[in-house]
Structure 1
Amino acid sequence: MPSMWLTDAQKVGVAFCSGGALFLFGGVLMFFDRAMLAMGNILFVLGLALIIGLPKTVLFFTRRPKLKGTAAFTGGVVLILLRWPLIGFLVELYGIFILFGDFFATIGSFAGNIPVIGPYLQKALNRASQASGGQRNAELPV
């Protein structure tokens, strides 16, 4: 099977982001376990830095339109670490929606290819993308 277009570091980054998403999901399932939520956040940010590179990650989080999302995401992580996991997760979720709202349409186009549930996921992610401003991939870091 031919190799994908990802480098080895990017493949590790995808694994870290996937692990981070699983830890976040597990943390929510375990009634907002703060250790799992914190580990999920660390893995997600580390994976993102490996996928797009450290300079582009810093540029992405420090752009003027993304500062509100960065502050909310960071504040949510701090609240989780200060033993307020439910409030922290909700604040963090808001930050993720602000930061990555532009990506929902792109994710929706890929999710549309999943058998059975793909069209429903694509429709929901396209609605979320339109709710976040409707600009499809206007300022992607890559």
Structure 2
Amino acid sequence: MPSITEFQKVGVGLMGFGLFFLLFGVLLYFDSVLLAFGNILFLAGLTFIIGFRRTAHFFFQRHKFRGSLFFFGGVLLVLFRWPVIGMVVESYGFVLLFRSFLPMAAGFLLSAVNIPFLNSFFSSSQSIV
């Protein structure tokens, strides 16, 4: 089992804070400062976790160029205080970047029904309807 370095631990913390600030910014009616801070922390955390070279390689592959353009364009729009439009553009870029990963994530979430506790929870909620 590979060990987690100190940089990766810092990266997980940065990503966690970034996601917190993004969620908090959306909950506070698209506060542009919180959203911008969340975007910066999220990208810094990703860089700390997988490294600068691998992050650059991920975002600047030829087949992911359009997704990266929309994602970073949305981040810039949020930084220039257009938070709603920026988050829509950024979300579209996120979907384009991770569209090959989304079916795998959906399959994992749908397999959660086979977990014993959740299975009994879902079966009891089915009987209510």
Q: Deviations over 1:17-70 (max 9, x none)?
A: 111111111110000000010011001110111111100001111101111111
Which residue, out of 90, 93, 97, partners 1:92?
90
Pairwise CA distance, 1:111: 8.6
Matched pairs, number: 116
In structure 2, the partner of 1:52 is 50
Q: Write the letter of the residue equivalent to 2:83.
A: P
In structure 1, the partner of 2:13 is 15
Pairwise CA distance, 1:77: 1.2
| Greater share of helix | 2
In structure 1, the partner of 2:126 is none
| CA–CA separation in structure 2 for the residues paired with 1:12 and 1:22 | 15
Q: Write the letter of the residue equivalent to 1:35.
A: V
Q: Which runs of 5+ in 2 are unaligned?
A: 123-129
Moved >2 Å (runs of 4+): 100-117
| CA–CA separation in structure 2 for the residues paired with 1:87 and 1:98 | 17
- Indicate the percent of aligned positions where both proteins have the same amino acid: 44
| CA–CA separation in structure 2 for the residues paired with 1:104 and 1:59 | 20
- When normalised by structure 1's length, the TM-score is 0.71
Which residue, out of 14, 27, 40, partners 1:42?
40
Q: Write the letter of the residue equivalent to 2:64.
A: K
- The change in CA–CA distance for 1:116 and 1:27 in structure 2 (over 3 A counts) is farther
Q: Aligned-residue CA RMSD in angstroms?
A: 2.5
| CA–CA separation in structure 1 for the residues paired with 2:91 and 2:82 | 14
Q: Which runs of 5+ in 1 are unaligned?
A: 121-142
- When normalised by structure 2's length, the TM-score is 0.78
Q: Deviations over 1:69-122 (max 9, x none)?
A: 1110111111112221100000001111111233334545379558649xx9xx
| CA–CA separation in structure 2 for the residues paired with 1:110 and 1:54 | 30
Alignment of 1:1-142 (within 5 A): 5-108=3-106, 109=108, 116=118
Q: Which has the larger radius of gyration?
A: 2
